[in-house]
Amino acid sequence: MTVPAAADLARAYAATRVATRRTPLLESAALARMSGAARVFVKAESLQLAGSFKIRGAYWRLLQLDPGERAKGVVAYSSGNFAQGLAAAGAMLGVPVTIVMPADAPEAKRRATEGHGARVILSHHGDRPREEAAADLACATAAEAGLVLLHPFDDPAIVAGQAGAGLEALEQLAEAGARADLVLCPVGGGGLIGGVALAFRGADPAVAIRAVEPEGYDGMGRSLAAGGPERVASGRATICDALQATRPGLAPFAAARMAGASGVAVGDAAVRRALRVAFEQLKLVLEPSGAIALAGLLEAGDELAGQTVIVFVTGGNVAPEAFMTLLAEAC
């Protein structure tokens, strides 16, 4: 599997930064005290256009299409955040977008995707993993309609595009006179950590990079430990609806492995606490999937003493009533 080179990351960042927001890098003394770290920085990709980092990779991937492919359009499967990022990117570039979305994905994400002009087809998965059922329907739709099939994370171009979040954070850390000892990044299929890991490893061979995943859906962490892609057989529920991939993508895994990343899994209770901490200390509204790396910080214990940590919080696409319920449930 091809791993994007540093030059690929730089080209993608240069092209996508004109269509994306430079999201804040927030330093929090409160989080440093709570975690035991020396300094904590939070990269607020939840404030990115379309509510998550996903537009970075989606925009760069669409730029790779030839004119005929752009005219016909693309189809992808997504439970919500890639759907919104791709729909927004398609609207900017004039590319028709069709999204296959699991029927039990949050309604707010479906409405937002349609609001960017995309066509949404709902998939029903029954006892199957919902991402697999949605992927199969997306493949069938591409074949029937002559559309380009895009994968939401298993694509070197997606990895290169998502790396922009890491390159941007590195710029901001330098502006703050800091360097990271540890990077905490959420993982579903792995597109973000693939790019972020390559960006940070390229800048600093000593930095530690950790993939943070929900318990039962820690395919990236298990794969990194095993030295090859592994599938998890989890049917357990998780509040992190966007992080239910049953195995990491081959392209993100290759990038994360090359960068020396390792994994950690956290439970729903820790994610609820992280949502509340983000709201109270940073004034950020996050969805559970976007808060999981912050949960990893708060669950790390004594290992962070003396370290400078950067945490990627990555999605804010949550309905108000659902967010209020999650806050009330937090310990």
DSSP string of 11-76? Answer: HHHHHHTTTS----EEE-HHHHHHHTBSEEEEEEGGGSGGGBTHHHHHHHHHHTS-HHHHHH-EEE
* 161 within 8 A of 58, measured Cβ to Cβ: yes
What are the structural domains of the chain? 6-52+156-329 (3.40.50.1100), 54-150 (3.40.50.1100)
User: How many CB atoms lie under 10 A from the CB of residue 149?
Assistant: 15
pLDDT digits over 289-299, tens only? 999 999 999 99
So what's the pLDDT on residue 80? 79
Confidence band for 79, pLDDT divided at 50, 70 and 90? confident
Distance of CA 89 to the CA centre of its chain: 16
- What average pLDDT does this structure show over 32-37? 97
Q: State yes or no: pLDDT of 1 exceeds 80.
A: no
pLDDT digits over 168-186, tens only? 999 999 999 999 999 999 9
pLDDT digits over 130-162, tens only? 788 999 999 999 999 999 999 999 999 999 999
Q: State yes or no: pLDDT of 72 exceeds 90.
A: yes
* 312 within 8 A of 45, measured Cβ to Cβ: yes
So what's the pLDDT on residue 234? 67
* 13 within 8 A of 168, measured Cβ to Cβ: yes
So what's the pLDDT on residue 202? 98
Q: State yes or no: pLDDT of 221 exceeds 90.
A: yes
Q: State yes or no: pLDDT of 22 exceeds 70.
A: yes
What pairs with residue 214 in β-bridges? 266
Could you give the CA distance from residue 4 to residue 59 in angstroms, rounded to a whole number?
Answer: 16
**Residue % of the chain over a pLDDT of 70:** 99
- What average pLDDT does this structure show over 187-201? 97
List of residues 6+ apart from 271 with CB closer than 8 A:
214, 239, 240, 288, 291, 292, 295
Could you give the CA distance from residue 140 to residue 144 in angstroms, rounded to a whole number?
Answer: 6
- What average pLDDT does this structure show over 83-110? 94
Beta strand pairing status for 39-44 and 25-27? antiparallel
So what's the pLDDT on residue 131? 80
So what's the pLDDT on residue 292? 98
Q: In what order do the strands lie in the sheet with 262-266?
A: 25-27, 39-44, 308-313, 182-186, 208-214, 262-266
More confident residue, 208 or 102: 208
Q: State yes or no: pLDDT of 111 exceeds 70.
A: yes
Distance of CA 260 to the CA centre of its chain: 19
Could you give the CA distance from residue 52 to residue 33 in angstroms, rounded to a whole number?
Answer: 27
Structural tokens at position 93: 């570039």
So what's the pLDDT on residue 224? 98
Start-to-end C-alpha separation, the chain: 43
Phi, psi of 178 (to 5 degrees): -130, 160
What pairs with residue 121 in β-bridges? 100
Confidence band for 49, pLDDT divided at 50, 70 and 90? very high
